Amino acid sequence: MSESDERVDVLVIGAGASGAAFTWSLVKDGFSVTCLEQGGWTDPSRYPSIEQDWEIHRQTDFNPDPNFRGLDEDYPVNDSESPISPLMYNAVGGSTIHWSAHFPRFHPSDFRTRTLDGVADDWPLSYAELEAYFDLNDRMMGVSGMTGDTAYPAKSERQTPPIPLGGVGQTMARGFDKLGWHWWPSDSAILTSAYDGRAACNNCGPCDIGCTRRAKASTDVTYWPKALALGAQLKTRCRVREVSIGRDGLADGVLYYDADGNLHEQKANTVVMACNGIGTPRLLLNSKSTRFPDGLANSSGLVGRNLMFHPYAMVTGVFEEMLEGYKGPMGASIISQEFYETNPSRGFVRGYAFQVARGLGPVSTARGGIGGHRLAWGAKHHAAMAERLGRTITIAVIGEDLPEEHNMVTLDPVLVDSDGIPAPKVSYRLSENSRRMMDHGVRNAGEALRAAGARRITANPLLRAGGWHLLGTARMGDDPRVSVVKRSGQTHDVDNLYIIDGSVFVTAGAVNPTSTIQAVALHMAEEFKRDARLMRV
Alpha-carbon distance of 55 to 49, in angstroms, equals: 8
Q: How much is the average pLDDT of 104-116?
A: 98
Please check whether residue 260 lies inside any domain of the structure.
yes
- Name the residue range of residue 416's domain: 5-359+391-536
Please check whether residue 364 lies inside any domain of the structure.
no
Residue 51 has pLDDT above 90, yes or no: no
The answer to which of 55-69, 70-84, 232-246 has the lowest mean pLDDT is 55-69
pLDDT of 3: 53
pLDDT digits (tens, 9 = 90+) for 10-20: 999 999 999 99
Alpha-carbon distance of 172 to 289, in angstroms, equals: 56
pLDDT confidence band for 234 (50 / 70 / 90): very high
pLDDT of 325: 86
pTM recorded for the entire structure: 0.97
pLDDT confidence band for 388 (50 / 70 / 90): confident
CB 427 within 8 A of CB 82: yes
Alpha-carbon distance of 57 to 76, in angstroms, equals: 20
Please check whether residue 183 lies inside any domain of the structure.
yes
Residue 50 has pLDDT above 90, yes or no: no
Please check whether residue 150 lies inside any domain of the structure.
yes
Structural domain total, the chain:
1
pLDDT digits (tens, 9 = 90+) for 422-480: 999 999 999 999 999 999 999 999 999 999 999 999 999 999 988 999 999 999 999 99
Alpha-carbon distance of 273 to 15, in angstroms, equals: 10
Residue 414 has pLDDT above 70, yes or no: yes
pLDDT digits (tens, 9 = 90+) for 361-375: 888 888 876 666 788
Q: How much is the average pLDDT of 144-150?
A: 96
Q: How much is the average pLDDT of 223-252?
A: 97
Q: How much is the average pLDDT of 204-231?
A: 95
Residue 384 has pLDDT above 80, yes or no: yes
Q: How much is the average pLDDT of 356-362?
A: 84
More confident residue, 385 or 490: 490
What is the longest distance spanned by two Cα atoms in the chain? 79
What are the two backbone dihedrals, phi and then psi, of residue 27, each rounded to the nearest 5 degrees? -70, -30
Q: List the CATH number of the domain containing 177.
A: 3.50.50.60
Beta bridge partners of 71: none
Please check whether residue 86 lies inside any domain of the structure.
yes
Pairing of strands 408-416, 422-427: antiparallel
CB 18 within 8 A of CB 517: yes
By percentage, how much of the chain surpasses pLDDT 70? Answer: 98
pLDDT of 537: 46
What are the two backbone dihedrals, phi and then psi, of residue 267, each rounded to the nearest 5 degrees? -80, 150
CB 278 within 8 A of CB 86: yes
Alpha-carbon distance of 350 to 352, in angstroms, equals: 7
What's 349's DSSP letter? S
Please check whether residue 338 lies inside any domain of the structure.
yes
Which residues make Cβ contacts (< 8 Å) with residue 344, sequence separation at least 6? none
Report the candidate in 81, 66, 84, 174 with the shortest Cα–Cα distance to residue 438. Answer: 84
pLDDT confidence band for 381 (50 / 70 / 90): confident
Alpha-carbon distance of 27 to 10, in angstroms, equals: 10
What are the two backbone dihedrals, phi and then psi, of residue 365, each rounded to the nearest 5 degrees? -60, -45
Please check whether residue 97 lies inside any domain of the structure.
yes
pLDDT of 521: 98
pLDDT confidence band for 536 (50 / 70 / 90): low
Please check whether residue 374 lies inside any domain of the structure.
no
